Amino acid sequence: MTTTETNKRDWVALEHKYYQGTFKRQPLTLVRGEGTRVWDSDGKVYLDFVAGIAVNVLGHCHPAIVQAVQHQVTQLVHVSNLYYNIRQIELAELLGQQSNGMRSFFSNSGAEANEGAIKLARKFGRVHHNGAYEIISMERSFHGRTLATTAATGQASYQATWVPIPDGFKQVPYNDLEALKAATSEKTIGVLLEAVQGEGGIWPGDKEFIQGVRQWCDEQNLVMICDEVQTGMGRTGKFFGWEHYEVVPDIVTMAKGLAGGVPIGAMLTGPRTDLFVPGDHGTTFGGNPIASAAGIATIQTIVDEDLLENAARMGAYWHTKLEAFCEKYHFIDSPRGLGLMQAVNVKHEL
């Protein structure tokens, strides 16, 4: 379709007619992206500060991703997971190299990755913990839109429409180790948290808290699950957010920036929780050749261009500027973050 043909169509009216009213959209129809810029259907250019909600970690249409996808689509678009998939194996190898040798399972989104983590934790409970199944997550957390991940999410606004939500989940205040310990019972099998709470307002975990969670999980034979959907892929200045805290989780979930814009999720596990056997879990499209090729290109670019160091350096610079802004302007305060995950509070009384 040409630009002229694109401009002639009333995309808003067509969306209202044929698409369910799930999203509160901005009055903007985007048709092209390059680097940090996007173009709308009228040809107007914008600087993109949204980045697909933490997805376009290399910008729009990065040449490495474009080349990888273009090549793969001429070779093999889809193959069942009943067969070996070279791109999938290569991506798993790269993630293993970044995660102390963890093994991967690929899905299509962060919610699916977290669903897999919940299932794996419950199997650990059945095998090693007398059938324990309950997972403790954090207030203000966000873990997805499926029923189970909505129940794990520590925000009532995401749950109210879907009651009764699945049981087996409870929330405690973030950075409150004593509350976590008090909430632990014989039914508890795991702790699910983010190194930096993303949807909850960019709140980093205290080092004492994250390390305390790891120690508590070890003492109580619990599974520590780190949701790296937003914090992974170098956004904090390290490949994974948990690396800042000198701990290693049992299970790690990823998505968003993993393939630079191509849909993919991943659930990684260390040897302690590596319990899935054929038939326990599955996926039709997870880790398909195109998404895996894009993921390989994304990770290789992050490594080759030293983007972890760049995120750490630019994040430190930005944090210093935010601190200065908060001192100068009365309507913002509480600068915080890790790497390029930075935030301030904007007061209502401007």
* Residues noted as catalytic: 142, 227, 256
Question: Residue 144: which of 117, 182, 123, 170 has the closest Cα?
Answer: 117
Work out whether the CA dihedral 230, 231, 235, 236 comes out positive or negative: positive
Q: Estimate the crossing angle of helix 289-304 against helix 86-98, to 10 degrees.
A: 40
Question: Residue 137: which of 180, 181, 166 has the closest Cα?
Answer: 180
Question: Residue by residue, what is the 3-state secondary structure of 203-264?
Answer: EECCHHHHHHHHHHHHHHCCEEEEECCCCCCCCCCCCCHHHHHCCCCCEEEECHHHHCCCCC
Question: Residue 85: which of 99, 116, 106, 100 has the closest Cα?
Answer: 106
Question: Where is 192: in which H helix or E strand?
Answer: strand 188-193
- Asked if 243 contacts 262 with a C-beta cutoff of 8 angstroms, the reply is no
Question: Residue 45: which of 56, 34, 55 has the closest Cα?
Answer: 34
Q: Which residues contact 270 (CB under 8 A, 6 or more apart)?
A: 100, 101, 102, 248, 249, 250, 251
For residue 198, what are its two tokens? 């993303």
β-pair type (188-193, 169-172): unpaired
